[in-house]
Amino acid sequence: MRVIRIDDVPAQPANRPIFIGQVETQPLLDEVSEHVRLTVVRFSPGARTRMHTHTFEQVLLITEGKGVLATETEEHIVTPGMVVVIPPGEPHRHGATADTPMAHISITTPGETTIVE
């Protein structure tokens, strides 16, 4: 068994092409599990992901602020306490609103992510 305190995992700038704006990540299980990924993602106001798909299901637990979760056909405002389930292959994007930061915990399994915009 391994117990991880989120505050003990350093945040790092998310310098990947999928992100637009200032985003930080805290990969909580990278050194612990080869089957599950659990990552805290913090978006500054206006920051977001590009439209993308995954080969795996993604679950987002909104923990702070106010954000936008969108597919090609719908858009939702999300706030703390909301859980979003995104099926494999569904184009989507997520991030903060223009004037409010947002954070979520992303729960996934290993697989591929593809930018579609």
Query: Is the residue at 42 inside a domain?
Result: yes
Query: Is the residue at 4 inside a domain?
Result: no
Rounded average pLDDT over 80-103? 98
Closest CA to 19 of 59, 56, 47, 44: 47
Question: What pLDDT sits at residue 2?
Answer: 86
Query: Is the residue at 3 inside a domain?
Result: no
- Say how many domains are in the chain: 1
Mean pLDDT over all residues of the chain? 95
Question: What pLDDT sits at residue 103?
Answer: 98
Residue 30 has pLDDT above 90, yes or no: no
Residue 31 has pLDDT above 80, yes or no: no
Q: ∠ at Cα 108 (87, 36), nearest 5°?
A: 145
Residue 117 has pLDDT above 80, yes or no: no
Looking up residue 105, the CATH number of its domain turns out to be: 2.60.120.10
